[in-house]
Structure 1
């Protein structure tokens, strides 16, 4: 019975993912096709004035840009079904190789930022909920509201100006030192290049997790079983650990795993500010350069990335709260 339920669950998730990928692909292609950017002009670059109309026609025929939009889309879909994401017009290499290289860099950045935002936000929410109404609670709430209204790129520029330009503690940008082969860069040097973009990106999720955790903890502390535990002499962190942690962790997990899309969107801005060679910067380059195969490939990969994050959250609910599993049963 459990095997049958397990098969139905993943079959339903697979159908949802396939439907989502089809919808995202069609919408993304329509938006890219409607863009005023000329892919041929972006491909040629500064030498556009030196290229004859015949050469432009040959370039368009080589990349299939002279075909009608529906033909281009159908050819792209056929190639996708065969496992071929196409060739990037900007980087002159297979899209899957570009995504694989850039995704590893972005994964390190988003992973560090995701962990930082979850841990910091959860701890701030617990402290604020325990100290409701005090100066500490008001200070944390003000801090969270300020973070929620702060643009990612502005904070990145501020951190870059203070810690890189004025103090010189961190490099100005890039993922590795300029002029040094990536294999020769030490782990600590990579960490120095990663820290400021990760701190900038972690701001995206701190405020929402902290404020929701705070409110949930306040509700838990006002419940009857908490009053009963207090009457038995249980207080402070011991009370939270034994009686409230599981209840307040569920909304935190829900929000944190659902923030994959926000973190990826924030990574686009953070990577642009710090010139970090990740997937977000590749998205901007592909959009400005009219690189349809690369842009659509990144859209598909990011969709799967966000979907898998939400799937992990759904599975983790059952571990944290067995009542959900029994309710489904």
Structure 2
């Protein structure tokens, strides 16, 4: 019944919320300890080249201003209480609230990851179907070779390759950055942003094709070898008609949930791609915060990325629970119906 499905979903989301809260607490504590034990001196990273001109008294004032002179646990408790009240602190690099930096960079990253997510899903799903429908042929072997090669290819290497070929040699796209250099913000057009987005998005989508394609291929091969498909073949169904009636609905759901579950890989790949292309997103901000000892920004990005990945996994689980009754807790009820 509908009320039981609703109750199962509410219970599922409740326990997921508890798991996310405990996960964020653990990640926050571990990340804070790792950052505090980092060899990078946040004061030196904050001052930069003028560090030799900073006296001991000035250094102590900077430490007091940022709260770095307090014991580690006291710093963690102060930061945690501020986060619970909605204040992620102030970035030492950008001199802006961490929430503003994340919000601005997230708009760039979400555009990049959305394009790559859609392209990798559509292309991977399509070539996976093509390989399964031509099992054992040269088409299948070429697609498998392509996917296995991509699965072992580092993101930064693919980014550098595309950058050299299409930006340096052919001069089809800009070398990097999110907007043209030296152009005022109000003069930047949508086409300018799209041109700077294409190469990083292609880098992520090309790498992300492999998992979806191989999973779709294997799932469709299993479907096509099932008894009901064999019976359909005996009735004269074949080719695209056979796939459309019996294959598509059995492989679409696993492919979609796999895409949502791949948020962690997508986010990790975005960090490398943005660094290669100097694209102003969350990935580049994470690298800058780590190298320059910006503790508030780095911890804010860690929390945000953890929530982003966790939400993707929850959406994948939720789709399965809604569509497939066997994954619900009310399993016996679904079977009886």
1:4, 1:142 → 2: CA distance? 46
2:8, 2:312 → 1: CA distance? 21
1:183, 1:280 → 2: CA distance? 25
RMSD: 1.5
Q: Does 1:25 align with 2:28?
A: yes
2:320, 2:7 → 1: CA distance? 20
Q: Does 1:59 align with 2:62?
A: yes
| 1:246–1:321 CA contact under 8 A, matched in 2 | no
1:88, 1:117 → 2: CA distance? 34
Residue 323 of structure 1, CA deviation: 5.3
> Matches of residues 1-329 of structure 1 in structure 2 within 5 Å?
1-2=3-4, 3-318=6-321, 320-321=323-324, 324=327, 327=331
2:149, 2:297 → 1: CA distance? 36
Indicate the SS of the match to 1:178.
coil
| 2:156–2:273 CA contact under 8 A, matched in 1 | yes
2:235, 2:305 → 1: CA distance? 50
Identify if the C-alpha distance between structure 1 residues 193 and 62 changes in structure 2 by more than 3 Å, giving closer, same or farther: same
Count of residue pairs the alignment pairs up: 329
2:237, 2:185 → 1: CA distance? 54
1:166, 1:328 → 2: CA distance? 62
Residue 324 of structure 1, CA deviation: 4.4
Indicate the SS of the match to 1:233.
coil
2:179, 2:165 → 1: CA distance? 20
**Superposed CA offset, 1:89-143 (max 9, x none):** 1111100000000011000001101111111111111100110100000000000
Identify if the C-alpha distance between structure 1 residues 46 and 167 changes in structure 2 by more than 3 Å, giving closer, same or farther: same
Indicate the SS of the match to 1:255.
helix
Identify if the C-alpha distance between structure 1 residues 242 and 323 changes in structure 2 by more than 3 Å, giving closer, same or farther: farther
2:95, 2:60 → 1: CA distance? 19
1:214, 1:192 → 2: CA distance? 33
**Superposed CA offset, 1:60-91 (max 9, x none):** 11000111111111100010111100001111
Identify if the C-alpha distance between structure 1 residues 268 and 291 changes in structure 2 by more than 3 Å, giving closer, same or farther: same
| 2:257–2:319 CA contact under 8 A, matched in 1 | no
Gap regions ≥5 residues in structure 1? none
Identify if the C-alpha distance between structure 1 residues 328 and 110 changes in structure 2 by more than 3 Å, giving closer, same or farther: farther
2:178, 2:331 → 1: CA distance? 47
